[in-house]
Amino acid sequence: MRIAMIGQQGLPARHGGVERAVEELAARLVERGHEVTVFNQWQPGPKARQHRGIRVRHVPAFGGKHLRNLTQSLLGTLAATLGRYDVVHFHALGPCLASPVARLRPRTRLVVTLQGRDDQRAKWSRPAQVVLAAAAWMSANVPHAGIAVSKQLQREFVEEFGRDTTHIPNGVTVTPQAAPVEADDPLQRFGLEPGRYLLNVGRLVPEKAIDHLLVAFRDVPGDVRLAIVGGSSHTAEYTERLRSLAAEDPRIVLTGPIYGAGTDRLFRNALGYVMPSLLEGLPLALLEAISYGLPLVVSDIEPHLEIVGDSGPGHRVFATGDLEQLTKQMTTLVNEPAAEQAGAYGLRDEVLVDYSWDAVAARTEALYRTLLTSRRHPAARRGGA
């Protein structure tokens, strides 16, 4: 099959969950014998034409922060439509605004992976939320099939749009051997001791509730530290608030964005991972933390519970927004490291089986084949693909 991927800003993946998901899925589809092309956002400087066997094309992006992703998706979709692909696969809601263009080629099948409800994210202005709500409607009505990465998303699309989707969660890979320590070692740069800090990795946006984490951490006893790894995502005002909160506790460090070997080193040496989010699709960062065997503290939103199950040693759960419970669970993790670590390893073994990128690729490939061999277009409403 010839497959086009629309929606990622760039490969190799650096910026977020969508990019990592596209890279891991596309690379495995290539291994299964398919030709996969991703349409990157054009950036100055050298440009790879291939990565892990994936063909990489670069398309322009114009305008401000809201228009760049839209114009990239539109131009990438136009290029894919002219390129006679068997499948055009959109990732996330926003890129689906360009999906009607791809329907101009009747033999091409369209798929969308629903990574989360971008139209509900607090970082967007009201006009942007209206546009993303339209994108959500298009995601439900234009593609021939939808993939929901969590059961909650699957249920929401039935309830709101009458649209059946296929549940295929994101995956995670077994962590490889540790990379060599680089000269710019983040542990040395930020004064972090192995096994003496809690970690959170992700975009600094309101729905991640990092402000809750910073306030709750103040009452965690001892000399354990907290490392927040990530940068602003059109959220300068929120990021500045986080800096102010962090300045009130010298044990807290905001590292800014760190990628590659630096992130690997932070994961490998953390005491535990804390994720207090208010809203998620199916968080890749949480799956990554589990793959490293890190004890967890997570909010009780459905996508988290779908992964970790009930609260217990190694995977402590607190009521979303309850800062007192968050402090209590972090304190338990800090004070009982042996029991928490044993529980974390048990969860790791389960997750590596249940959330495999190889399985994700196989199920996605099967969905493509069903669409391409069907003698009639799958319905876009309930009862369809």
Cβ-based neighbour number of residue 199 at 10 Å = 25
Q: With DSSP H G I counted as helix, E B as strand and the rest as coil, what are the percentages for the chain, rounded to 5? A: 45, 20, 40
- Identity of residue 160: E
From 339, 318, 340, select the one nearest 329 (Cα to Cα).
318
- d(CA 26, CA 172) in angstroms, rounded, equals 14
Give pLDDT, residue 176. 65
Give pLDDT, residue 173. 84
> What pTM value is reported for the model?
0.88
Give pLDDT, residue 7. 86
Locate tokens 């004070």: which residue? Answer: 335
According to DSSP, residue 99 is labeled H
pLDDT tens, the chain, 385 aa long? 999 999 887 777 776 678 889 999 999 999 999 999 999 988 777 778 899 999 999 998 887 666 777 888 999 999 999 998 999 999 999 899 999 999 999 999 999 999 988 777 766 677 777 888 899 999 999 999 999 999 999 999 999 999 999 999 999 987 766 766 766 899 999 999 999 999 999 999 999 999 999 999 999 999 999 999 999 877 889 999 999 999 999 999 999 999 888 999 999 999 999 999 999 989 999 999 999 999 999 999 999 999 999 999 999 999 999 999 999 999 999 999 999 999 999 999 999 999 999 999 999 999 999 999 984 544 444 434 4
- d(CA 361, CA 143) in angstroms, rounded, equals 19
Which pair of tokens denotes residue 280? 């998620």
Give pLDDT, residue 15. 64
Give pLDDT, residue 62. 81
What is the crossing angle of helices 337-354 and 284-291, to 10°?
A: 120
3-state DSSP call for residue 350? helix
Give pLDDT, residue 325. 98
User: Which residue segments constitute the domains of the chain, with CATH numbers given?
Assistant: 2-171+356-373 (3.40.50.2000), 186-354 (3.40.50.2000)
Omega before 44 cis (within 30°)? no
- d(CA 147, CA 49) in angstroms, rounded, equals 28
Which pair of tokens denotes residue 376? 């009639």
From 258, 284, 267, select the one nearest 22 (Cα to Cα).
284
**Contact indicator for 50, 23 with CB cutoff of 8 Å:** no
CA 8 from chain center: how many Å?
A: 11
Which pair of tokens denotes residue 184? 């710019």
pLDDT tens digit sequence for 108-164: 999 999 998 877 776 667 777 788 889 999 999 999 999 999 999 999 999 999 999
Cβ-based neighbour number of residue 78 at 10 Å = 16
User: Would you give the end-to-end CA distance of the chain in angstroms?
Assistant: 19
Give pLDDT, residue 351. 94
**Contact indicator for 174, 291 with CB cutoff of 8 Å:** yes
